Amino acid sequence: MPTISVIIPAYNAESTIKETINSILNQTFTDFELIVINDGSQDSTLEVVSSISDSRIRVFSYSNAGVSAARNRGIAEAKGEYFSFIDADDLWTSDKLEAQLAALQANPQAAVAYSWTDWVDESGQFLRPGSHAKSNGNVLSELLFRDFIASGSNPLIRKEALTQVGGFDESLTPAADWEMWLRLAGKYEFVNVPSAQILYRVSPNSMSANIWRMETESLEIIDRAFAQGAKSSQNLKKQVLGERYKYLTLKAVEGKLERRRGLSAARFFLQAIRYDPSWLTRTKLMLILILKISLATVLPPQQAKQFLNKVQKLSKTN
């Protein structure tokens, strides 16, 4: 039996999945199986995967049911003692599995190991640092405020923990990762690997690009988390809502500056300030957000991008 089961949910990923798989096959820790769940792809994803020869790869094809269902199907087929998931467009550094496994073995009280995340563009070039959290132990409260795990491609999870909390919620899509981490954090400790080992690819097709569904699901998850709470917890709920709307504002303007996203960003921005007026004191961030929101709502996407690039160049020269 393999020590680790790596699960890739794949839907129309022909342009990126080979690079993703290679980043897994190049791991310094080699005792793993790689389960690819072809979630009803209509392109050549299956052919690309089938062209890669490695005895550790197992491929299963189903009709399209969404990323959460695909992950759950992978879990059902997995034979490892530890599980890790990676989206079909993300990448790992070669020491990811080795470092996370070592962290769990050194901390038997923990059930989840996670690393730092950096963001890359569609061509795999570094964009900026992502989440570099350092939280260990009981992380539930902090995880409610901020999904510092940052993506479904990050953690290594003990099988018994995943079995105990159950699979991914198939009614959720962009917020399914966060909901799973919250369930795990409610029962188990986490351990941090302080190294950037997850390369999260930012693209218009990223699951998290659907900010409207992300908002709906986030509110549902927050309501669930506080449903049984006392009245005294309502102030904490407002703080959590404030943090989530800050996140949604930033997500709305991180990609293509188009009118619909700009209008949504403006609404998220106002909600964030409603729950946390102190956000306005971050003057530089406020100016950047207001500029991006204004450009997105007033100009066509290409002109908005060109104008923003000019402003960024000017700010670097001054």
Half-sphere exposure of 124 (CA within 13 A, CB side): 13
**Cβ–Cβ < 8 Å for 45, 62:** no
> So what's the pLDDT on residue 231?
55
* Angle formed at CA 47 by CA 37 and CA 117, multiple of 5 degrees: 50
Series of mean pLDDT values for 10-residue runs along the chain (318 residues)? 98 97 99 99 98 98 97 98 98 99 99 97 88 96 94 98 97 94 96 98 66 94 80 79 95 87 96 96 94 93 85 68
Per-residue pLDDT tens for 181-190? Answer: 999 999 999 9
Q: Which of 177, 269, 175, 180 is nearest to 217 (CA)?
A: 175
Q: Which two tokens stand for residue 180?
A: 């799973």
Distance CA 308, CA 318 (A): 16
First and final C-alpha spacing in the chain: 59
Q: Give the domains, in start order, of the chain with CATH numbers.
A: 4-201 (3.90.550.10), 210-317 (no CATH)
Q: Residue 246 has what pLDDT?
A: 96
Q: Is 166 left (phi over 0), alpha (psi -120 to 50) or beta?
A: left
For position 209, what pLDDT does the model report?
61
List the beta bridge partners of residue 137: 190
Question: pTM of the prediction?
Answer: 0.89
Looking at residue 207, what is its pLDDT?
45
Distance CA 183, CA 81 (A): 19
| Residue whose C-alpha is closest to residue 149's, from 107, 105, 179, 188 | 179
